[in-house]
Amino acid sequence: MDKVSEVTVRIGDMTSTRRVVSSPVGTWCLEGTEEGLTKVWMPFESPRRDAGPACEVVDRAAAQLEQYFAGQRTTFEVLLAPVSATAFQVACWSALRDIPFGSVATYADIAMAIGSPRAARAVGNANHNNPWPIIVPCHRVVAAHGLGGYGSGVEVKSFLLEREGVDCANY
């Protein structure tokens, strides 16, 4: 199977392009328009697929994700499309982008960073609703005592963290 394949989906008047990227932990699917990346589907999620050409934004994001899995990229320069979200979710996702490659923060750390020190559980919920996993690195957020959850499973979270040089045995 090719590492990357293309699909498009028509939603009303807007064409949303999808690119499928293979990785050691499963297949990721990036979706977006020329306005930006709208969704990153994690392994084991099943987006609908239709054949078609890919748009430049999604092509660029897929290339960067491939580079990440090849150990050639530590940050992403991807245009993110506006999505429906609460102000709290947006604040959480913004704080996630400040966690450097190879580092972790706790849910409580993120809550403190956004000015809501008692909202660690809500940070977890915001992470769960992050439409751009890896690109907006929710996998870098851990629990106070353990790795915490991840939408595609703790095994995938552990792989991503270890790929970035984090010793998961410490969590």
- In this prediction the pTM is 0.88
Amino acid at 75: T
Quick check: 170 pLDDT over 70?
A: yes
pLDDT in tens, 90-106: 999 999 999 999 999 99
Active-site positions read 138
DSSP state of 60: H
* Domain 87-170 -> CATH class: mainly alpha
pLDDT in the model for residue 52: 62
pLDDT in the model for residue 9: 40
Burial class (CB in 10 A: 0-12, 13-18, 19+), 77: exposed
165: left (phi over 0), alpha (psi -120 to 50) or beta: left
- Dist CA 52 CA 6 (whole Å): 6
Which H or E element spans position 14? strand 14-23
Where in the chain are the domains?
4-69, 87-170
Q: What is the mean pLDDT of residues 13-37?
A: 88
